[in-house]
Amino acid sequence: MRFLSDLDGFAAIVEGGRRHLQSLEGARLGIAPHSVRAVDAGELEHLVRTFPSGPVHIHPAEQVLEVEECVAWSGARPVEWLLDHIQVDRRWCLIHCTHMTPEETQRLAKSGAVAGLCPVTEGNLGDGTFLGVEYEAAGGHIAVGTDSNVRIAANEESRALEYSQRLRHQRRNRLGLAGRSTGRGLFEMARVGGAQALGLDSVSTGGLASGQAADIVVLDDTHPALVGRTDDAVLDAWIFAAGHVVRDVFAGGRHVVVDGRHFRTSDIRHRYAKAVNRLVHDG
């Protein structure tokens, strides 16, 4: 019930979000109808017409039971149903897509949509593994993120994704290769796919140069996993050997993490503790 909203209520939520985003430079407004289980064809068509621009995120085919229930209801698998009933294109990001047939994998790749993978979450929940090698070979775009708070670490998500494919195929170095180091390949795959999923221009988020977005992560080069590493070997070590080695973060040119600490840490912790205590004692 906590996910439930009618179309008018959803529109009001989106408009409220639009007002708040006016104060956030570079923000993109998108919609996220939760899943194929939560909406029907008529509702999805209405939402796509009402919000014709911006990212669209939706969860399909995360778990076997979800697929079985969708087949029992509609006669089709979740990704199959979505592709048959809705014009899925580059602004769509389908989260998880853990259980797809080879045909669904090919069709989703050809649609131009992004597969938004959450490997640590999917491993934690025992969901299964994505057909990553097949999807990439078909030209599909992949983004990497999280769908829980069990662990928040970009390098560990990429590591879990690559290792899941090695386990599936019983071979090493499976994703994002194209003659590069595996770390570089995974990083570029996630960067390009992530920018698309967020409705951003991947060109403007791609390096240190005039006109770029100035989103910069600085790693601690004194960490044992990174000592002596240069060029792509840094990415290999960060993804496959290191834990928390982020020293500084610049977002849009603003220095938001300094020496491993967010500049608003004290305020955030205070507000969090206040909110939790209110829920526990007053809820």
Is 231 one of the annotated active-site residues of the chain? no
Q: What SS3 class is residue 114?
A: strand
Pull the structure tokens for residue 260.
């491993």
Unique residue bearing structure tokens 């999807």: 135
Q: Which residue is catalytic, options 57, 59, 96, 141?
A: 96
Q: What SS3 class is residue 201?
A: coil
* Helix (H), strand (E) at residue 217: strand 216-219
Is 20 one of the annotated active-site residues of the chain? no
Residue 281 burial by CB count (10 A; 0-12/13-18/19+): exposed, middle or buried? Answer: exposed
Taken in order 252, 255, 256, 259, the sign of the CA dihedral is positive
Pull the structure tokens for residue 111.
């649609």
Q: Which residue is catalytic, options 99, 127, 141, 147?
A: 147
Pull the structure tokens for residue 93.
């990001």
Residue positions annotated with a catalytic role: 96, 147
